[in-house]
Amino acid sequence: MVDVLTKDQRRLNMSRIRNANTAPELLLRRGLHKRGFRFRLHRKDLPRCPDLTLPKYKSAIFVNGCFWHGHNCPMFRVPATRQEFWTAKIQKNRDRDAFVLSSLGEMGWRTFVLWECAVKGRGRRPLDAVLDKITTWLEGKRARGTLARRPR
Ligand SMILES: [Zn+2]
């Protein structure tokens, strides 16, 4: 029993640590920077400190880990132990995410969610394709955008 708790606790901490400056986030930052976009990181004065904000486009970009944010994709699976705990936890995160996006929208921010599976794992897309998609969205008018793995 103690082992299980320790394992879960470790996973929880890892998720928190990984929450900022993840590999997908760094890839995205480098790519966008190369394309001439300028942004700020983790603004603490905005709901959920968006990973990137681009004031020129009044846009916020989140890079969401599929496990932590409960993405409906193969990279998310409820752990075998303490399923009730995890199901409730992830659902809470999902609800919070929805609330954060609408709060930002009310504040006049456009929001883009890049899922981890778009840049990692079997369904990942070429980085240039990801950057193209985000560039198009940034330069367009749509209030919300999202990108996940390639459909199978
Ligand atoms: Zn995913």
Q: What is the average pLDDT value for the chain, to the nearest integer?
A: 89
What is the whole-number distance in angstroms between the Cα of residue 144 and the centre of ligand 1? 17
Burial class (CB in 10 A: 0-12, 13-18, 19+), 78: middle
What is the pTM for the complete model shown?
0.85
Tens-place pLDDT, residues 16-65: 444 667 888 999 999 999 999 999 999 999 999 999 999 999 999 999 99
In CATH, the architecture of 2-147 is 3-Layer(aba) Sandwich (3.40)
Domain ranges of the chain: 2-147
What is the whole-number distance in angstroms between the Cα of residue 2 and the centre of ligand 1? 30
Taking residues 72-82, report their average pLDDT: 90
Question: Residue 70 — very low, low, confident or very high, per pLDDT cuts 50/70/90?
Answer: very high
Terminal-to-terminal C-alpha distance of the chain: 39
Question: Residue 77 — very low, low, confident or very high, per pLDDT cuts 50/70/90?
Answer: confident
What is the whole-number distance in angstroms between the Cα of residue 121 and the centre of ligand 1? 9
What is the whole-number distance in angstroms between the Cα of residue 119 and the centre of ligand 1? 9
What is the whole-number distance in angstroms between the Cα of residue 11 and the centre of ligand 1? 18
